[in-house]
A and B are shown apart, each in its own frame.
Chain A
């Protein structure tokens, strides 16, 4: 049953004038067109949802692993950590009923073997040179000193701006620095707050420094307020 064949049935013998190939084109009823698209759309949708359900656990597991390894890296080997959620301007260990966890900002409170606080890790996202940069930042809420920084997501210029992630000479400077950081072009010397920017990636480097300064300034009072409340 091909309702739209381009060639009609063989011409009746003796009629003499068969229509040329491809000229005779019956128009198809609109409902048939609609049906075609509806069936195609329904089948596609079904397939997409099915594969989404199959792949989602793996995708979420990878996202969790990525975050976990970043927390470990910026907090310098915490034994364990508490996940705190930011709900209406205050950090809480568990969001109130009815609030979806996945939509909340988080802080990870790292502890050593004795349960002592060793620092806090937060993520921050702000514009870089091309698009938003996402960083994981670890710091000591008591002093504001950094314990580490890791680039989670960046779309900076390959070969230049992406050195903020790949150049260990740049990323290795952050542990132990005092905030607010100050970016310098030359050698940073022994000043505790100076970070040397990357030649050819000045804007990306400065964006990293700015994001860290903003994040520490924003999260430090929140973590201190939480620590006071918990005591």
Chain B
């Protein structure tokens, strides 16, 4: 190859430079997959009726985000443009299958509760989105940081939602009774409509906080 340029070549559409902490924090806060980007709504609705399920789904997704981000980033110069989506999906599907089998071998009860939603992580647009928009354009360290941040942001949102739903819908948290014997569970909250209701409340809270911040910044 001819004399290598001193600075790293700019890849079209590459994300602006940032520190590792910023790469992680972005997914948890102002680019949160659920409450800001509104990605991965299917698992968000489907598995957040129990806190244990929400956490397990969040962590499994984090594992897939980090693993697929790393591999996509490492091979970004080897994967031809024409077959990149196919390759990304193949990489993501591999990590999903691994996560599914490892969960079944360690926490069979949670694996059974997540049922078909575990393999369906493949179809979560968050995964392909981060591979295409971020991991394919940066080095492995940034890709892993971004995957970790997005995964933790996803886990945080799912845990918050499932805590609200389990607390009101069953009167328990992680299976422990916390509302006392007099509490009559709002069965509605663990049913699908309760998922939409809880997500609406969460989005409202996020919009309220960010609206206040924006006004404070403008004043």
Contact = CB atoms under 8 A, between A and B. Distances in A.
Contact of B105 (A33, A37, A55): A55
Contacts of A158: 49, 190-191
Interface centre among B86, B105, B108, B187 (most CB of A within 10 A): B105
Contacts of B97: 48, 51
Contacts, number: 84
The binding surface of chain B is classed by DSSP as: helix
A5 B2 CA distance: 14
A51 B98 contact: yes
Nearest to B188: A159
Nearest to A32: B80
B187 A37 contact: no
A28 B94 contact: no
A136 to B, nearest CB: 15
B20 interface: no
Interface string A156-167: 011110000000
Contacts of B91: 40, 44
A155 to B, nearest CB: 7
A101 interface: no
Nearest to A200: B187
9 nearest A-B pairs in the assembled complex, by CB-CB distance = A55-B105, A58-B105, A159-B187, A44-B94, A62-B108, A159-B190, A2-B77, A28-B80, A55-B101
Given A40-B91, A44-B90, A55-B102, 4 more contacts: A28-B80, A44-B94, A55-B105, A157-B191
Interface of A: 2-7, 9-10, 21-22, 25, 28, 32-33, 36-37, 40-41, 44, 47-48, 51-52, 54-56, 58-59, 62-63, 66, 153, 155, 157-160, 200
9 contacts: A6-B11, A21-B12, A25-B81, A28-B81, A44-B90, A47-B98, A48-B97, A157-B191, A159-B169
